[in-house]
Structure 1
Amino acid sequence: MKRLVCSFIIVIIIAFNINAQIGINTEDISAATINIVSQGNTSTTKAIKITDSNNMNILTLTDEGNLGLGIDNPSTKIDLRSTSRIDNAIGIGYTTMTASDAMAGAIRYNPLITNGAIQYSDGNKWITLQNQPPKALVIAQNSTQQSFINLGTAGVPITNWTKTFDQNNDFNAATGIFTARRSGIYSVSSSLVFKIGNITAGPTSQVELSHDGGASATASTLVGYTSSVNGVPLTISCKSFHYLAQNGTLKITIYQSTGYTQALSGDKTQNTLTISEM
């Protein structure tokens, strides 16, 4: 009896270690452990379809080899563009494989470099995809009718602008100060119109509009008057390029020595400022 029991146990153990193969829609089960042959030959024919407990699509594999996750009719080799699910993100991990072993076209997420980054293989090396943040762009207008006294402090900042656009919130409209988020070249353009007033002629009678870059260079437009002007609005504009270091600042200033107090026009469309990161 003991020999019979031992023999039965051995038979069971052997049976469970036999490599089984399964064929679906095929009698040839020699190709793989599980061999599934799709029926039909169109792009919409489903070879495999899996749904969840709510009958929502989880996985679809078509006859032509397109894999869809959460989508019924994948149109690419891997398609995650589900309209019924919100979790369409792709999670990419790290690999220590060399770029040549991974081969050209492979991608990975590398957490070992600063701030982490997505990299792709060109077949020889891993290349980091550069993150290009939105460049600074400021568009502002001014309708405050700010005034500037004759022979006042040189370079009085124009303040209390109204922003119509500020890509990265780099411009303080109240103080009129732009702060560079990163080092680079910035294009600055300003145009101002003063109220109708009087101007006294003289060798030092002038209005100066400046783009004050602080530690960077200051660019100015200077308009001088060799003859008196009465009842005429003054128009002045300035365009310049500035290299600003990270956290460097720039402001628009006015100095005037026309013999009278001058005030900006109340029409905001006449007093404009644009700052653009190159």
Structure 2
Amino acid sequence: MKQQYIKNLAIAFILLLFGNHANAQIGIGVENPTNPVEVKTDAGKVIIDKSGKLGVLVTNPKVAIDLRSGTNGSVAVGNTDKTAAQVGAGALRYVASPAIGVKGYLEFSDGTNWVSFFPKGKPRIVVMASKVTQDTYIFESSNPSEIGAKSGIVQRRSSYLTNWTEKLDSDSGVPTSNFNPATGEFIAPRTGVYFATFTFALQSSQVNTGGNNQTEAIWEVRNPAGTITQRVKTNNGYASDTGASPNAVPVGSACTVSVYLNKGDKLRPFTWVTVAFDGTISQFDISSNGVYNSLTIVEQ
């Protein structure tokens, strides 16, 4: 009984102590706090004022959390895998993304979607290349034995343009490796719309009589598994007969597209040519350092 009495007395004392100070200020390292909560630190005070505003080294906070002390008054925002709906409108997160040129950026939730803010503008892929070699790769032919690397364009065969000279492959100014100059293949690092154009020209020659003279410049899209999902082509026709020498013409073509790519999709240029030149193999015109044979890809 005596022990229980002492225990009840102790509890009553604690309740009385906290009851007397329920409306008082709390000071940690501060003898006479003037705000409901004051905490002394080596750099200054952290306070909660009577309206519930938090001030970090700020004596008169103006907003719910005020860090504007003028000395290292920054705030750290972490990342989250939660959806914008889960965190609610107004939430912030930091997205560390070494895959893009800006390296990292902030996003805010509008309650439905995460909305990105890019301090250097929207990340943008830019690829530029020229072709100063005769290298191609036949990948479609009625004769399977022809599949493989070639020098020049073989008539009536689907040929990738290979071994480009890369001028630029960047993401918002940061060098990347989205384009493979050896194969001419571009792999989209993220889903979006890409503007792509390439041109090629063959060495000037006489186009002899023929009923189906044409050159096709074609952009091909494959998914990550390698399945063809889209082909866009431009067909240039030529006169059936340009006459005898020296009536040579620079046969060529170009294809420009805006194409939607999913992350991991592969974009690659190729040609199909049927022009009645003398012989069955046509050579690229590389006499001007590849100005006629160029490639550009820009993220929109």
Normalised by the shorter chain, which TM-score bucket? 0.5 to 0.7
Change (3 A) 1:9 1:185: closer
Q: CA deviation at 1:251?
A: 0.7
Change (3 A) 1:138 1:81: farther
Which of 191, 216, 236 matches 1:223?
Answer: 236
Matches within 5 A, 1:126-141: 127=112, 129=114, 137-141=125-129
Distance 2:43 2:154 in 1: 75
Contiguous gaps of at least 5 residues in structure 2: 27-33, 94-106, 136-151, 223-227
Contact 2:108 2:115 in 1 (8 A): no
- Which residue matches 2:76? 88
Q: CA deviation at 1:142?
A: 1.2
C-alpha distance after superposition, 1:97-148 (max 9, x if no partner): x99xx9x857599xxxxxxxx99696xxxx4637899777342221534452
Change (3 A) 1:6 1:207: closer
Matches within 5 A, 1:151-166: 151=155, 153-162=157-166, 164-166=168-170
Which residue identity does 1:273 align to in structure 2?
L
Q: Does 1:142 align with 2:130?
A: yes
For residue 158 of structure 2, give the secondary structure of its aligned residue in structure 1.
Answer: coil
The structure whose Rg is larger is: 1
TM-score normalised per structure 2: 0.54
- Which residue matches 1:198? 204
For residue 204 of structure 2, give the secondary structure of its aligned residue in structure 1.
Answer: strand
Question: Which one is further off, 183-192 or 216-225?
Answer: 183-192
Contact 2:163 2:184 in 1 (8 A): yes
Q: Does 1:239 align with 2:227?
A: no
C-alpha distance after superposition, 1:143-197 (max 9, x if no partner): 53445245274223243341524437433232111234566654422234x47x4
- Which residue matches 2:24? 34
Distance 1:270 1:81 in 2: 58
For residue 197 of structure 2, give the secondary structure of its aligned residue in structure 1.
Answer: strand
RMSD between aligned residues = 5.0
Q: CA deviation at 1:211?
A: 0.9
The number of equivalent residue pairs is 235
- Which residue matches 2:46? 59
Which residue identity does 1:34 align to in structure 2?
A
C-alpha distance after superposition, 1:207-240 (max 9, x if no partner): 3221123512322223233225757656632112
TM-score normalised per structure 1: 0.57
Contiguous gaps of at least 5 residues in structure 1: 23-31, 37-45, 110-117
C-alpha distance after superposition, 1:25-69 (max 9, x if no partner): xxxxxxx53348xxxxxxxxx9566453xx225734568764244
For residue 14 of structure 1, give the secondary structure of its aligned residue in structure 2.
Answer: helix
Change (3 A) 1:60 1:248: same
Distance 2:233 2:81 in 1: 53
Which of 196, 200, 215 matches 1:207?
Answer: 215
- Which residue matches 1:16? 14
Residue identity (%): 20
